[in-house]
Amino acid sequence: MARVRRRYACAECGAVQPQWSGQCPECGAWNTLTEEVASAPGTTAAAKGEAAFRPAVPTPLSAVAMEEEARLTTGSAELDRVMGGGIVPGSVVLIGGEPGIGKSTLLLQTVARLSQAHSTLYVTGEESLQQVALRGHRLGVTGAELGLLAETSVEAMVSAVSGAPPAVVVVDSIQTVHTANLGSAPGSVGQVRECAGRLVQLAKSSGTAVILVGHVTKEGALAGPRVLEHMVDTVLYFESDRGSRYRILRAVKNRFGAANEIGVFAMADDGLREVRNPSAIFLSRHGEPVAGSAVTVTREGSRPLLLEVQALVASGAGGQSRRVAVGLDGSRLALLLAVLQRHGGVSTAGEDVFLNVVGGVRVQETAADLPALAAVISSLRDRPLPHDCVLFGELGLAGEVRPVPGGEERLLEAAKHGFKRAVVPAKNAPRRGVVSGLEVVAVSRLGEALEALG
């Protein structure tokens, strides 16, 4: 009886080690080595009698054809925006998110719309065909042209599409797929890496666009080896506050479009609906001005987005003051409060400071620095900011207000929603004339911004 060969693969970098250790020697991550069974003898290409190694012949860059393939439009403007204009034939897309956030719902709606003009296949490894059909009936999906397949073997999937490759294949999910060449359980590092590699090869060789659904860990990262995100062309993440009906789909990697592009959807009884005007849903529009609220214009990918930043400053109950930020970097909040004390003359020592971005959006740029401090000062002094004022700008440690990309687009978005005044960095002031109906106050220092706000 042949001895079973075991090895240990790192869940972060995918490196393989012959023995287990607490730390991966390649990437330095701790407790990431998991056991897996190596490929059984006789499963290599030579043992199967396949073609021998053929030397690769380089192609000059000038000889590569520059023909751009037409993208497949999904019928959803928000999803097309996130993907850079549609699905690229032969690409591999990985979409992740918490359980129940709407990954399968969005993809079932998408492939049903695509099936009206293209051949599509929805492969499920977590549900039966009857369960998928029931969900489709609830969503109003009646596409008779949409193919369904309940399968977990990657060899069976490749065989099912090899004869007449469809335009789009959805695999829900990659953690349930396995290959007979490995003895480890589905979802293990080796299985995920090997099955994803087979599906990537299928997409590149046949021109079929493959969309993979990925599970996430309790930390919110995609489960499985980190190399999985490097293998695919596009990585999309679903974001949402628990209990909120709004879903944000963010592109964290896209070889065919802009990264950090977002699409906004609303969960309804009949599935996910796209939100055409996201700025309207992230603004509270209080009946009367309230203290601790400031409106900013952030930029997600190529889209300017109006957001409300709320702050609450309360007297601490003794001990160390708390600094809590939701939707913003908590360490940056502490940095901004230090700048406020040093260059603005406003101290929050002994006060608890809580900061929140309305709507569950996570702001990943520094344009929210100035509105965050404005909201903190407004709450501390219990003095509301002007309800028709918008702010954006990055703050430096020397108290300077630094410019941010896309200043003019941000101002146009603010004017479109009826704001009358904008406090912005001096270098973001429009050079080709004023924005219609919007008074732009350009500031260079934090003190000037505080004076402009009164």
* Average confidence (pLDDT) over 300-309: 89
81-96 residue pLDDT tens: 999 999 999 999 999 9
CA distance 288 to 297: 21
309-329 residue pLDDT tens: 999 999 877 678 899 999 999
CA distance 335 to 388: 28
265-286 residue pLDDT tens: 999 988 999 998 888 888 866 7
Q: Where are the domains of the chain?
A: 6-37, 71-276, 281-453
377, 381, 383, 386: CA torsion to nearest 10: -20
* Average confidence (pLDDT) over 329-333: 92
pTM of the model: 0.79
> Which CATH architecture best describes the domain 71-276?
3-Layer(aba) Sandwich (3.40)
Tokens matching residue 140: 């109003």
Q: What is the maximal distance between C-alpha atoms in the chain?
A: 83
Q: What is the C-alpha R_g of the chain?
A: 26
CA distance 190 to 127: 23
Give the pLDDT band (50/70/90) at residue 433: low
Q: Are 327 and 365 in contact (CB under 8 A)?
A: no
Which pLDDT belongs to residue 399? 95
Domain 281-453: which CATH number of 3.40.50.10490, 3.30.230.10, 3.30.110.30, 1.20.58.100: 3.30.230.10
Q: Are 156 and 123 in contact (CB under 8 A)?
A: no
- Share the mean pLDDT of the chain: 87
Which pLDDT belongs to residue 145? 82
Best mean pLDDT range from 178-192, 270-284, 287-301, 390-404: 390-404
Detail the DSSP E strand segments found in 117-205.
120-124, 147-150, 168-172
Which pLDDT belongs to residue 50? 46
Whether the pLDDT of residue 230 is over 70: the answer is yes
User: SS in 3 state form for 93-124?
Assistant: EEEECCCCCCHHHHHHHHHHHHCCCCCEEEEE
Q: Are 423 and 453 in contact (CB under 8 A)?
A: yes
Output 66 or 375, whichever has higher pLDDT: 375
Which pLDDT belongs to residue 1? 44
Q: What are phi and psi of 442, to 5 degrees?
A: -90, 130
Whether the pLDDT of residue 159 is over 60: the answer is yes
Whether the pLDDT of residue 382 is over 90: the answer is yes
Identify which of 302, 284, 301 has the alpha carbon closest to the alpha carbon of residue 293. Answer: 284
Whether the pLDDT of residue 48 is over 70: the answer is no
CA distance 329 to 311: 14
Cβ-count burial 362-397 (b if 16+ within 10 Å, e if not): ebeebbbbbbbbbbbbbbbeeebbeeebbbbbbbee
Which pLDDT belongs to residue 49? 44
Q: Please give the share of the chain, as a percent, with pLDDT higher than 90.
A: 56
Bridge pairing between strands 234-239 and 16-17 = unpaired
- Mean pLDDT lowest for which of 51-60, 232-241, 377-386? 51-60
Whether the pLDDT of residue 41 is over 70: the answer is no
- Cα of first residue to Cα of last residue in the chain, in angstroms, is 83
- Mean pLDDT lowest for which of 9-13, 69-73, 116-120, 260-264? 9-13
